[in-house]
């Protein structure tokens, strides 16, 4: 029994949902610790696709309990839509979903400010957010004026906090963004409905998860986004507003770092990024378009086309370092079936200098050119392969090259969106 953290090692959309679902099948708990409905985690079971944004990817396994931790920012509208979607698919969540009373709420003004502030920026400065209100909600949390699930359940406190916030946000919306004013009564009415709907799921999840750890239960912790989108360690300011890296799991759930046994870094066999910001191995040519088409690289939350490029091992090494990744799950290997030649980035060239670290300053990161190593493609369909030894030798070489370069074992190899198509090495 163990505590396993699953993190995205790149810029998100690495296939975390698929691997969390697979490992969550046999887990007592699956818990989310950060982010919100900006995430889009896709799971395919026997051909049926589910996309989850807020509810942990363990919810599709009938014996697994799911926790939305204190570090997550919860949009009640998105949550209700997701619960409805699960009901329509006959997935029983009774007694299986728990929401931290300490989690912060996404309010209508967070979404309005998110979109309005993006609109005011230029093409160069816009972050390309998902528009889900994430940044403004975490802003309020850090600024100590956020509204928590606890507050939602106390009418007087909720009204008082809402009044203060609406006053302040109306002033921002009016003066900075020239946007229409918010009506407090409308929000009060809408959110009092959420109180009734959410109340049955609210729990002291910090206590719950620590009890489970002490009882040696099997716990999977599900990261959203990815290490390079981390607000501290990513390509700031082109990042999200939380800590998707492993450390975020401790604060976002209230668990001690000493209890984490394993960290799986979900790594796409190439790289994608949605939204703006530096991307050293991005391919703006036909190869990039091919990766996008073969990999169906369109966002699960916003439908935006994802930017594509070769696997960046220099960035992966950095991600392994800051997350303490003990195992890699390599996903979407099948997308590379179509290429004669596959490249990986082993270091960067910055001016005349070759560097093998990930620069903190995006002005420097924007200037690097990737130093690429070429490997031979396998040009074969991988369907039905269920062991490492049965993979074409060129695919085995690709995997071994990544393992040797990073010093981390690749324990899972994913060759299709479906739960069943995963090789365990």
Here the tokens at position 62 are 């009938």
What residues between 64 and 103 interact with ligand GDP by CB under 6 A?
none
Q: At what angle do helices 134-142 and 108-120 cross, to 10 degrees?
A: 110
Stretch 381-420: interaction string toward ligand GDP, x if CB under 6 A: ---------------------------------xxxx---
Q: Is residue 359 involved in binding ligand IMO (CB under 6 A)?
A: no
CA distance linking residue 316 with residue 369, whole number of Å: 16
What residues between 270 and 309 interact with ligand GDP by CB under 6 A?
300
The answer to whether 65 touches 96, Cβ cutoff 8 Å, is yes
Is 41 tagged catalytic?
A: yes
Dihedral, 258, 140, 123, 42 alpha carbons, nearest 10: 50
Binds 229, which of ligand IMO, ligand GDP, Mg ion, none (CB < 5 to 8 A, cut-off by type)?
ligand IMO
Q: C-alpha angle 210/215/220, rounded to 5°?
A: 60
CA distance linking residue 118 with residue 260, whole number of Å: 37
Catalytic, out of 41, 104, 110, 233: 41
Nearest to 191 by CA among 71, 107, 78: 107
We find the least distance from the C-beta atom of residue 16 to ligand GDP, in angstroms, to be 4
Dihedral, 334, 379, 294, 314 alpha carbons, nearest 10: 70
CA distance to 106, 135, 165, per residue, from 143 (Å): 14, 12, 12
We find the least distance from the C-beta atom of residue 414 to ligand GDP, in angstroms, to be 3
**Beta carbons within 8 Å of 80's beta carbon, 6+ residues apart:** 194, 197
For ligand GDP, which is the closer residue by CB, 169 or 332?
332
We find the least distance from the C-beta atom of residue 257 to Mg ion, in angstroms, to be 26
Secondary-structure percent of the chain, ordered helix, strand, coil, rounded to 5: 35, 20, 40
For ligand IMO, which is the closer residue by CB, 59 or 395?
59
Q: Out of 71, 135, 146, 370, which residue is the one contacting ligand IMO (CB under 6 A)?
A: 135
Asked if the peptide bond before residue 237 counts as cis, ω within 30 degrees of 0, the response is yes
Q: What is the distance in angstroms between the CA of the first residue and the CA of the last residue of the chain? A: 20
Is 53 tagged catalytic?
A: no
Dihedral, 187, 192, 197, 200 alpha carbons, nearest 10: 130
Q: Out of 4, 9, 64, 130, which residue is the one contacting ligand IMO (CB under 6 A)?
A: 130
Q: How far is CA 402 from the centre of its chain?
A: 22
Phi, psi of 124 (to 5 degrees): -80, -30
Binding-residue total with ligand GDP (CB under 6 A)? 21
Q: Out of 132, 233, 307, 419, which residue is the one contacting ligand IMO (CB under 6 A)?
A: 132
The answer to whether 37 touches 111, Cβ cutoff 8 Å, is no
What residues between 13 and 32 interact with ligand IMO by CB under 6 A?
13
Q: Out of 3, 6, 7, 13, which residue is the one contacting Mg ion (CB under 5 A)?
A: 13
Nearest to 213 by CA among 266, 264, 265, 250: 250
CA distance linking residue 401 with residue 382, whole number of Å: 19
Stretch 304-333: interaction string toward ligand GDP, x if CB under 6 A: ---------------------------xx-
Stretch 40-69: interaction string toward Mg ion, x if CB under 5 A: x-----------------------------
For ligand IMO, which is the closer residue by CB, 53 or 212?
53
Q: Is residue 76 involved in binding Mg ion (CB under 5 A)?
A: no
We find the least distance from the C-beta atom of residue 13 to Mg ion, in angstroms, to be 4
For ligand GDP, which is the closer residue by CB, 220 or 415?
415
Q: At which residue do the structure tokens 């009890």 appear? A: 211
What residues between 31 and 50 interact with ligand IMO by CB under 6 A?
38-41
Binds 129, which of ligand GDP, ligand IMO, Mg ion, none (CB < 5 to 8 A, cut-off by type)?
ligand IMO
Stretch 224-263: interaction string toward ligand IMO, x if CB under 6 A: xxx--x----------xx----------------------
For ligand IMO, which is the closer residue by CB, 133 or 212?
133
Q: How far is CA 52 from the centre of its chain?
A: 11
Q: Is residue 42 involved in binding ligand GDP (CB under 6 A)?
A: yes
Residues that are catalytic:
13, 41
Q: Which residues contact ligand GDP by CB under 6 A?
A: 8, 12-18, 40-42, 44, 300, 331-332, 334-335, 414-417
Q: Which residues contact ligand IMO by CB under 6 A?
A: 8, 11-13, 38-41, 127-130, 132, 134-135, 224-226, 229, 240-241, 274-275, 300
């Amino acid at each position: 029994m163990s505590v396993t953290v699953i993190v995205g090692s790149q810029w998100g959309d690495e296939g975390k949902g698929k691997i969390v679902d697979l490992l969550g099948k046999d887990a007592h708990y699956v818990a989310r610790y950060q982010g919100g409905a900006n995430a889009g985690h896709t799971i395919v079971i026997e051909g049926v696709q589910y996309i989850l944004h807020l509810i942990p990817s363990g919810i599709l396994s009938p014996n697994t309990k799911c926790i939305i931790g204190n570090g997550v920012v919860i949009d009640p509208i998105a949550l209700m839509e997701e619960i409805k979607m699960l009901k329509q698919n006959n997935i029983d969540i009774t007694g299986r979903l728990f929401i931290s009373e300490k989690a912060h709420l996404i309010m209508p003004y967070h979404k309005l400010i998110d979109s309005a502030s993006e609109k005011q920026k230029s093409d160069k400065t816009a972050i390309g957010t998902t528009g889900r209100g994430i940044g403004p909600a975490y802003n309020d949390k850090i600024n100590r004026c956020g509204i928590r699930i606890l507050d939602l359940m106390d009418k007087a406190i909720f009204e008082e906090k809402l009044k203060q916030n609406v006053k302040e946000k109306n002033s921002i919306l009016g003066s900075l963004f020239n946007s229409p004013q918010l009506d407090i009564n409308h929000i009060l009415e809408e959110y009092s409905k959420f109180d009734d709907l959410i109340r049955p799921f609210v729990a002291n999840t910090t206590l719950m998860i620590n009890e489970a750890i002490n009882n040696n239960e099997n716990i999977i912790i599900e990261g959203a986004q990815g290490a390079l989108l981390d607000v501290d360690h990513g390509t700031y300011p082109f990042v999200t507003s939380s800590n998707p890296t492993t450390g975020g799991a401790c604060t976002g759930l209230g668990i001690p770092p000493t209890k984490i046994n394993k960290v799986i870094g979900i790594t796409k066999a190439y790289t994608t990024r949605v939204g703006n910001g530096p991307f050293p191995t991005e391919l703006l040519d036909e190869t990039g378009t091919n990766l996008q088409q073969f990999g169906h690289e369109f966002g699960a939350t916003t439908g935006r086309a994802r930017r594509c490029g070769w696997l960046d091992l220099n960035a992966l090494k950095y991600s392994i370092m800051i997350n303490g990744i003990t195992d890699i799950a390599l996903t979407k290997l099948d997308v590379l079936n179509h290429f004669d030649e596959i490249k990986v980035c082993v270091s960067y060239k910055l001016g005349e200098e070759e560097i093998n670290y990930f620069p903190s300053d995006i002005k420097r990161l924007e200037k690097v050119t990737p130093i690429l190593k070429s490997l031979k493609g396998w040009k074969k369909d991988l369907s039905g392969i269920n062991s490492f030894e049965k993979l074409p030798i060129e695919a085995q070489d690709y995997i071994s090259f990544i393992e040797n370069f990073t010093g981390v074992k690749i324990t899972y190899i994913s060759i299709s969106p479906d739960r069943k198509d995963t090789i365990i090495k």
